[in-house]
Structure 1
């Protein structure tokens, strides 16, 4: 990081940008989902995550370059997660801003929040189609825990990291 990226909390006026960013970030996988229009429609509502999670924004040059949801312990989450675990949700980075460490920065911000919440673990779910994100998570210490139901034909699994 060159220091020009700032992390901040989601604001209501970020909604449109976050929704568009999520669709743009997943666009490269559109041919892999069996129902891309349905997947894209869901992604276009990503800012709704703010109703059950803290959304962290990575901003540079006055524009949103990435975002992630941190869903704390005992907040509602998918049934394949232990409800007591904090989880990382919907990490997305602007395709034009990839390769600058934003994904790692946003993931680490979630780990800081998990430690704040006195959690000893943090979880996420991702897919092998995420050929950059999955290896990044593994380098950060996330380990495969179990497969979960596919999303529009794409395999997903839960990964868990022990926090020191």
Structure 2
């Protein structure tokens, strides 16, 4: 396995990875909420924006199969969830066949290192009750719950922060 920066020509494979990985949540969501999520996961603009506005980290096999991704968005890009003074992590995703091999941890650690290199003061992220492995990972890396945010996709979500 190797880690590298994502590129625009990765777009199709990033969407495929997202659907393979996030498909496991379909049964936990209502049909309408699953449709909302799957539309976002397959929308070219979701990834084009992230590839253009953030630092991306891709994990791929020796035969160039993308099996992991994560994005660190720099401060100055606020959303309804994230403050303009925070950098934030999006879409930490690992192919189900490669789960449990530390790829999500390595991707998140790469994001933290990029944020430190860019002199960011804080990194935020959000995650939900249905993502128990992610919660454990983020907390083990020092992220702390800042607050519970409005439910998304009908599920409980929290905003986490790591001060650098």
Equivalent residue, structure 2, for 1:47: 47
CA distances 1:37-76 after superposition (whole Å, capped 9, x unpaired): 22111011242321322221111122111001110111x2
* Distance in 2 of aligned mates of 1:40 and 1:77: 23
State the Cα distance separating 1:83 from its structure 2 match: 0.9
The alignment's TM-score, normalised by the length of structure 2, stands at: 0.90
Instruction: Find the counterpart in structure 2 of residue 29 from structure 1.
Output: 25
For the residue of structure 2 that corresponds to 1:57, the secondary structure is strand
- Match of residue 14 from structure 1: 10
- The aligned counterpart of 1:137 is 138
Counterpart CA distance in 2 for 1:39 and 1:79 is: 17
Structure with greater helix percent: 2
1:13-38 deviation line (CA, Å, top 9, x unaligned): 11011011112111111122232122
Q: RMSD across aligned C-alpha pairs, in angstroms?
A: 1.3
* C-alpha contact (below 8 Å) 2:4/2:59 kept by paired residues: yes
Across the two proteins, how many residue pairs are aligned to each other? Answer: 158
- For structure 2, the 5+ residue unaligned runs are none
Alignment of 1:2-151 (within 5 A): 5-34=1-30, 35-45=33-43, 46-48=46-48, 49-61=50-62, 62-74=64-76, 76-151=77-152
